[in-house]
Structure 1
Amino acid sequence: MAAEGDFLLRYRAVSNKLKRRFLRKPNVAEASEQFGQLAKELKQEECLQYAGFCNLAVARCEQTLFNAPGEALALTDAARLFLQAEKETQKLQCPGFEEHLQAATNCYSFAIKVYIELNQPVMAASLCLELGNALKEMNKPAEASVHFQRAAELQSQVPIECLLSLGKVATCKIITRVFMDVIARCEVSRVLLLMLLQPPPQKLLLEHAQTLEKYDWESFDSHSQVNYLPENIFLLLQSVVMACQEKDLESLKVLQVELWPLLTPEQNHLLHLVLQEVLSPSGRGV
């Protein structure tokens, strides 16, 4: 059995067999078989990412041998191993940069490309769906929708399957919109809280300063920084920030009337408190 500690030694030993020797061609088929065996042993020992790297090496060997089906199969095995490694990392709540997920996505993409070149759109579509489902399970509906859409395009000759994939696209779009609504609601409450608390510049946290900068009238194309907010709400919030900075109570009253039907009850209460703060003699401004 392969141990994680000697993985590199065995991997390099097989890789060395692929180097050209004087008057002797490397035995690529043998190397492919040995990489595959190492991948199986590593998978049994739950060294999933290392097994994935070995399957990638198998894919390269199969490409050298012009064995496209073997290459696609090895890429798919690698993708699933990297994906499983990412799921294990997330289950353990380990910090990371989702490098295993990125590796899995790349492997799936290459395998899909090979199947398309082999004129096997059904196999390519099935991998698109597999990746899309995995991303959706990881709460990445926006990324998942891209792969569901590609699956639908590859299924143009099978209308029912195409419609099912488009249904998955629609579901992801709806979920994504819900996520954006939550982000938008949090942004509005965040701005109103800052207007209410009015922290002095020297006590303003960097992240709070960056939030207010997005509503600066002099900021170029500032709405693009908060494109999850409808433009009318963004412009009204921008006006609220300016009115608070100027302690312009009359403008705030007008803005309150315009914002009232667009905000949640909690946000309307916050805006009411902002007006009270500006009205009071202790109103300090931001």
Structure 2
Amino acid sequence: MAAEADFLLRYRAVSNKLKKRFLRKPNVAEASEQFGQLAKELKQEECLQYAGFCNLAVARCEQTLFNAAGEALALTDAARLFLQAEKETQRLQCPGFEEHLQAATNCYSFAIKVYIELNQPVMAASLCLELGNALKEMNKPGEACVYYHRAAELQSQVPIECLLSLGKVASCKIIMCAFVDVIARCEVCRVLLLMLLQPPPQKLLPEHAQTLEKYDWESFDSHSQVNNLPESVFLLLQSVVMACQEKDLESLKVLQVELWPLLTPEQNHLLHLVLQEVVSPSGRGV
């Protein structure tokens, strides 16, 4: 807490020097140097996020001085400090909203933009890759994929480097497919559980109603709303929903045979329970 209070006092003291006064221009270069020195001290004390804020202040000063290269460098330093702070938070398993990661991403994005404006695509691409690698390491392949793809675009004049970045894009997409499989399994289980419980309309939660609407035969292009499921599974599941609504036991038996090899053991057990419920309703949804 003492370190935080000291940081705020010193930060405000330097910031006050930037305020315009009558017949006196603020010394922006001096303020930039002082913010930079404060950032170094805070980094040594492992107050990473505060050091990041100081580097952001340096970047704003350099922007005022029309020093784009200095601005990009300060933004990059800030991004790396925020990223390091996020990694430390995750290592300690502290609760949070990934605010340091968001700050890091914003700083990287601004630095990339500045390097592009400076006509330095190589530097911009290297930062895209740096952020992409960090996001992938944090188990965020979807977000990493965006920056790898951006790096490949910036490396269009360097074919080998561009191919390497596209390889990273492909790697993320492979990982993301595993996530899609998990989502698909959850979708099937959710539908089967709703068929098993059969909650009355007045007790049906809005999100559950939206799920069932996707399997309505009259819904326009329903499969596009559940594109994480193979079309064959979707169509069979759609038929299960209709058969349950009609209490059509014979159709359900046929559908069970067709779905059996496509479902997990847990899902097949749920489908078996659905059939039993149609044969002998237990009033679970009441």
TM-score > 0.5, shorter chain as reference: yes
Verify the 8 A CA contact 1:2 1:42 in the aligned structure 2.
no
Cα gap change, 1:191 to 1:257, in 2 (>3 Å): same
In the alignment, which residue of structure 2 is the partner of 1:240? 240
Verify the 8 A CA contact 1:245 1:285 in the aligned structure 2.
no
SS at match of 1:284: coil
Cα gap change, 1:285 to 1:66, in 2 (>3 Å): closer
Verify the 8 A CA contact 1:4 1:42 in the aligned structure 2.
no
Instruction: Give per-residue Cα distances to partners, 1:234-271, cap 9 Å, x unaligned.
Output: 34323322322332212212332443343234423332
Q: Distance in 2 between matches of 1:276 and 1:231?
A: 26
Q: Distance in 1 between matches of 2:201 and 2:285?
A: 10
Q: Distance in 2 between matches of 1:2 and 1:44?
A: 16
Shift of 1:98: 1.6
Shift of 1:161: 1.3
Shift of 1:276: 2.7
Residue identity over aligned pairs, in percent, reads 93
Cα gap change, 1:92 to 1:205, in 2 (>3 Å): farther
Shift of 1:156: 1.6
Shift of 1:282: 4.4
Cα gap change, 1:64 to 1:231, in 2 (>3 Å): same
Q: Distance in 1 between matches of 2:220 and 2:37?
A: 58
Shift of 1:95: 2.6
Cα gap change, 1:8 to 1:218, in 2 (>3 Å): farther
Q: Distance in 2 between matches of 1:269 and 1:263?
A: 10
In the alignment, which residue of structure 2 is the partner of 1:15? 15
Shift of 1:47: 1.9
Alignment TM-score, normalising by the size of structure 2 = 0.88
Q: Distance in 1 between matches of 2:226 and 2:7?
A: 47
Q: Distance in 2 between matches of 1:221 and 1:99?
A: 38
Shift of 1:26: 0.9
In the alignment, which residue of structure 2 is the partner of 1:255? 255
**Aligned-pair Cα RMSD in Å:** 2.7
In the alignment, which residue of structure 1 is the partner of 2:92? 92
Cα gap change, 1:113 to 1:282, in 2 (>3 Å): closer
Shift of 1:3: 1.6
Verify the 8 A CA contact 1:247 1:285 in the aligned structure 2.
no
Shift of 1:211: 4.3
- Structure 2 unaligned segments of length 5 or more: list them: none
Verify the 8 A CA contact 2:39 2:55 in the aligned structure 1.
yes
Cα gap change, 1:202 to 1:89, in 2 (>3 Å): farther
SS at match of 1:3: helix
Cα gap change, 1:2 to 1:113, in 2 (>3 Å): farther
Q: Distance in 2 between matches of 1:22 and 1:269?
A: 80
Cα gap change, 1:91 to 1:204, in 2 (>3 Å): farther
Cα gap change, 1:243 to 1:73, in 2 (>3 Å): same
Cα gap change, 1:267 to 1:281, in 2 (>3 Å): closer
Q: Distance in 2 between matches of 1:10 and 1:2?
A: 12
Please, which moves more after superposition, 219-228 or 115-124?
Answer: 219-228
Shift of 1:194: 3.5
Shift of 1:91: 2.0
Q: Distance in 1 between matches of 2:67 and 2:10?
A: 24
- Structure 1 unaligned segments of length 5 or more: list them: none
Q: Distance in 1 between matches of 2:18 and 2:223?
A: 55
Verify the 8 A CA contact 2:197 2:285 in the aligned structure 1.
no
Shift of 1:96: 2.3
Cα gap change, 1:122 to 1:279, in 2 (>3 Å): same
Q: Distance in 2 between matches of 1:219 and 1:208?
A: 16
Instruction: Give per-residue Cα distances to partners, 1:181-238, cap 9 Å, x unaligned.
Output: 1110122123223333445678767765664455455767665554322344334323
Alignment TM-score, normalising by the size of structure 1 = 0.88
Shift of 1:110: 0.8
In the alignment, which residue of structure 2 is the partner of 1:25? 25
Aligned residues: 286
Cα gap change, 1:256 to 1:27, in 2 (>3 Å): same
Please, which moves more after superposition, 264-273 or 148-157?
Answer: 264-273
Shift of 1:104: 0.7
Residue 203 of structure 2 corresponds to residue 212 of structure 1? no
Instruction: Give per-residue Cα distances to partners, 1:66-103, cap 9 Å, x unaligned.
Output: 11111111000000111111112222223322221111
Q: Distance in 2 between matches of 1:112 and 1:252?
A: 56
Verify the 8 A CA contact 1:42 1:50 in the aligned structure 2.
yes
SS at match of 1:125: helix
